[in-house]
Structure 1
Amino acid sequence: MKSPSFCLLFFLFFTHTDSHGQLAEQRKYPKRVSSVAAHQKEIQRSSALNMVDPQTLIPGLIYDLRYATEQNFTGKRMYPKGTRSSFLRVAAAKALEKAADSLRQYGLGIKIFDAYRPFRVTLRFWKLIKDERYVANPSKGSGHNRGIAVDLTLYDLKSGAELNMGTGFDNFSDTAHHSFENLPAPIARNRYLLKSIMTQAGFNALETEWWHYALPNPSAYSILDIPFKKLNIKSINH
């Protein structure tokens, strides 16, 4: 039988090793805000950092949150069941409102596939696809983690029909790239309209995804890892 002192040393060694491993894992990734309390402190410094539901600002905006379903590249539900809305920083939401105002003259509205994405989900994505053309490297964080990126398409306000963009959401072929030119004229016009309106509103396009737009200067925004159920606008001080 092993002595009590040996067992204690064995336990302390592996506890230390496990703690060291967890610390090393933490240091691999950037600092992030993971509680509502910490986010409220951010807002006290600058109200522009507040997270809001863009649907509260934009009439006609609708959600089709693919990561709350199995209709995405993972084939799995990545967000909690029943997630029906999302969030953006105030600056991003107001820029999107500007884009929506411009689109309304064409009888078009915005449909959002994804907006805010908790950092923990980015970690899961990276384990599946380690390709920075399509998935954010968690060592840097993403625009979605910062609340300044949105994946979207356009739809007809009268009929509710989506405009044809040539591929669906989460298509990782070069057909989804902005530089892809072998498109029928109506589809090319749809993409051009979306890109023109979004860039005029202050967003930058992602070359490999026609649906992805983000505000510039991501370093001005912290990486968030707050669950949807906790990041509720009713609990955030405006």
Structure 2
Amino acid sequence: MTRLSSAVRGVAAALAALLAVTTASATARAHTDPEAPADFVALRTVDPTILQEMRYYTPHNFVGEPVDGYRQPVCILTRPAAEALHEAQATLLRQGYTLKVYDCYRPQRAVNHFVRWAEDLNDEATKAEFYPNVDKTRLFADGYIAEKSGHSRGSTMDLTIVKLPATPTRPYVPGEPLVPCYAPQEQRFPDNSVDMATGFDCFDTLAHTLDARVQGQQRANRLLLKGALEDLGFVNLAEEWWHYTFEPEPYPDTYFDFPVSVESLTGGH
């Protein structure tokens, strides 16, 4: 009986030690990641009506795989940017439209992933859709890829507008045939966005917001988005119709690297 009790105690002690090591390891991993400052919020807590289609959480992006740092498909922004976006949404809802975000805060580790991809000249798996007319050796020189991104400061977002009632965009099927991002809307990968003349993340001069070749309803759609946002302090990046930064930025010189997840936010909200 004594030997059995000793054996049981020994097993229990071993299990307790293993649990302690496992818990400590998990805690250490949790504390490895930085957290967001208190004034970063999940957009859905400020405006749950804005659609979210977080492309870098999925394989449907120019890298061709989920991007480092995107642990959940959530839009995170500084509170001032989120609240201004809420105001723009209220204006668009009255006109029968809704905003849809493709990307918001972007951790530095994701930007680093973009850089590694751009430096791998042998990986052109997504060229047919995202940069058909651009040689991959030109991505840095032409400004499509950079080692720092305004998104990492927390007040920049990529977005579009969707006509209501919105129909969901079907999921991307890895391996499906790719179509140039500037093809006519009915030929491009389906997106419930209004027609902006190109898809999101199109590495082409046709994506320049005021490109003179974009006319008619496509130009009107771009100007609708531009007007709704610029009236509230957002500034457009001229080379990308989808890219806007809220100014003044709370963190104009800080590039954050906390993961995209609600756990990164204060209180996990």
**What is the TM-score normalised by the length of structure 2?**
0.65
- Report the alpha carbon displacement of residue 216 of structure 1 after superposing the two structures with TM: 3.1
> 2:78 is matched with which residue?
89
Structure-1 separation of matches of 2:264 and 2:142 = 27
Write the mapping of 1:44-63 to structure 2, written as runs, cut at 5 A: 50-63=39-52
Q: Secondary structure at the match of 1:223?
A: coil
Deviations 1:138-168 (A, max 9, x none): 3xx3221011100001012214342111100
Structure-2 separation of matches of 1:177 and 1:108 = 22
> 1:232 is matched with which residue?
265
What residue ranges of structure 2 are gaps of 5+ in the alignment?
Answer: 1-32, 119-138, 168-191
* Cα distance change on mapping 1:132 and 1:122 into 2, 3 Å: farther
Deviations 1:8-44 (A, max 9, x none): xxxxxxxxxxxxxxxxxxxxxxxxxx622xx45xx4x
Structure-1 separation of matches of 2:92 and 2:142 = 31
The 8 Å contact of residues 148 and 214 in structure 1, kept in 2 or not, is answered as yes
> 1:214 is matched with which residue?
245
2:87 maps to 1:73: no
Amino acid of the residue matched to residue 232 of structure 1?
L
**What is the TM-score normalised by the length of structure 1?**
0.73
Structure-1 separation of matches of 2:46 and 2:260 = 19
2:222 maps to 1:191: yes
Structure-2 separation of matches of 1:181 and 1:91 = 33
The 8 Å contact of residues 167 and 176 in structure 1, kept in 2 or not, is answered as yes
- Report the alpha carbon displacement of residue 233 of structure 1 after superposing the two structures with TM: 4.8
Write the mapping of 1:63-142 to structure 2, written as runs, cut at 5 A: 63-79=52-68, 83-127=72-116, 128=118, 129-131=139-141, 133-135=143-145, 137-138=146-147, 141-142=148-149
Structure-1 separation of matches of 2:42 and 2:48 = 12
Deviations 1:85-109 (A, max 9, x none): 1200011101111111111111111
Amino acid of the residue matched to residue 215 of structure 1?
F
Structure-2 separation of matches of 1:147 and 1:105 = 27
Amino acid of the residue matched to residue 235 of structure 2?
N
Q: Secondary structure at the match of 2:106?
A: coil
Structure-2 separation of matches of 1:109 and 1:118 = 26
* Cα distance change on mapping 1:159 and 1:215 into 2, 3 Å: closer
The 8 Å contact of residues 119 and 224 in structure 1, kept in 2 or not, is answered as yes
Q: Aligned match of 2:203 in 154, 167, 172? A: 172
2:174 maps to 1:143: no
Deviations 1:66-121 (A, max 9, x none): 11111111112104676221200011101111111111111111111000111111
Q: Secondary structure at the match of 2:195?
A: coil
CA-atom RMSD in angstroms = 2.1
- Report the alpha carbon displacement of residue 217 of structure 1 after superposing the two structures with TM: 4.6
The 8 Å contact of residues 67 and 110 in structure 2, kept in 1 or not, is answered as yes
- Count of residue pairs brought into register by the alignment: 190
Structure-2 separation of matches of 1:105 and 1:178 = 24
Deviations 1:142-198 (A, max 9, x none): 221011100001012214342111100110111100131212401110000001111
Amino acid of the residue matched to residue 134 of structure 1?
Y
What residue ranges of structure 1 are gaps of 5+ in the alignment?
Answer: 1-33, 44-49
* Cα distance change on mapping 1:182 and 1:220 into 2, 3 Å: closer
Structure-2 separation of matches of 1:62 and 1:159 = 9
